[in-house]
Structure 1
Amino acid sequence: MNIKSALTILFLFFITDQAFAAIDPVYEGANGIRAKVFATNCLDCHSSTLTGSARNGAPPSVNWDTYEAALPNAPRAIVRAVEQMTMPPAFSGVPALNDEQKAAMLAWQSAGFPRAAATTSTAADFSYDSSILTLPVVNVGSQMYNATLRLSSNNSSPTGIAFVLESAQPATAASSVNAANFFPTTGQLTVPLVQLMRNGASQGQVSAELALVPNSSPFLFLLSSYTSVPGAQ
């Protein structure tokens, strides 16, 4: 994805706060396989809470409501729901998987049917050598993105420092207290921890507050303030 495309997509996310991210190829999570595939297309019959006729003929041993139950039967789900397209059965009235769901199931299989996304560091870092601020996770409402911004001087900034957005894309890393947060209604970007780096060595840590300049293109964030984090080197 080129920078222009990334900026266009990010603009839509920031202004409308809509969810356009693909289904995560993991079982758990609000955007995972359970929530986006099994809950919508399978659990009306394949749930361990259902018995007898309420299962509509689903085998008692085939359930998708827990990871432990789903894992042994996951390869079967790929065959029946993705390859053969015989599940859900036509008579059930439950919709068949759409292309996005099929792709997510195949990606889940390719990844080895993981339960959850691997934990990834969400702390930001700024490199004095490249003048790049890297934000591994930016929470925007219920969505997560990673972004890179380049240092720029700006007389309108309270600190004389600004950052120009260079790239952005959906992120799947788990959020944490160190993740950045963007608030579309105010344009505020808070970064609780930024590791300052020079020649591969830490120069300390700060927290930062930035503000999006309205209608800027590319997106320009003014550094409103920054504070040393206690215990920083």
Structure 2
Amino acid sequence: MIALARAVTLLVALGPTCAHAADIGYLAPPGVAAIEFPSPRRPVAEIVSPRRSSEEHRDALNEAGEVARRLELKPGMTVGDIGAGSGYHTVRLSPLVGPSGSVVAEDVTRDYLIELARRTERLKLTNVKFALGEPHDPRLPASSLDAAILVHMYHEITQPYAFLYNLAPALKPGARIGIVDLERPTPQHGTPIELLRCELSAVGFHEIATYQLAGDGGYLAVFSPPGGAGRKSPRDIVACGAR
């Protein structure tokens, strides 16, 4: 009886974690292997936290509102929050896209996604999906996103050329990708805008506009994905030099 009681207690304790964990996984088959692409010729920052700064501070700067406005996000869209972390943008995008839309929270750190799943459940957000990615591949279904955001995480992508190449098919025709980062070296958790432009251009993305965000929010760079006919072979991608 004692052993049974302990087993029941253990199952109760693990139940919510297991339930959330069951929703965390790859949403699509693997893309092109990382070995097919060049490695970045600059340092890659380590993942040190699921959040950049306090949400109150970011709200005071209207970070989420400005990103949504510049990318023209609206109800009914499916938006990928790539490198979602603690879910600052996920939980704000969910009510914006509404019940007819959805948010795909993607990250390479499974524990971050499990915690975010708990958060969305507490907030009763029912239009959020969770996607476990890989350092070189977000593992998202083809033509599934109307837009994607990468906020204060681009400098942490260990295989940027492979990651961008494998992300592109998930973007629908006319989709936009918005990258938020700081104008500082990658080891200092930023990406110089000229380096960002060079790396995305190397994969075939086209810059639409760049905006300065309020306070210390950095910049928002908006790109369109490469078209099917203009899509390069991975072997033709040339890595940008450190800047």
TM-score tier (shorter): under 0.3
Identify the structure with the greater helix proportion. Answer: 2
Identify the structure with the greater strand proportion. Answer: 1
Scaled by the length of structure 1, the TM-score of the pair is 0.24
- RCO higher in structure (CA 8 A, sep ≥6): 2
Scaled by the length of structure 2, the TM-score of the pair is 0.23
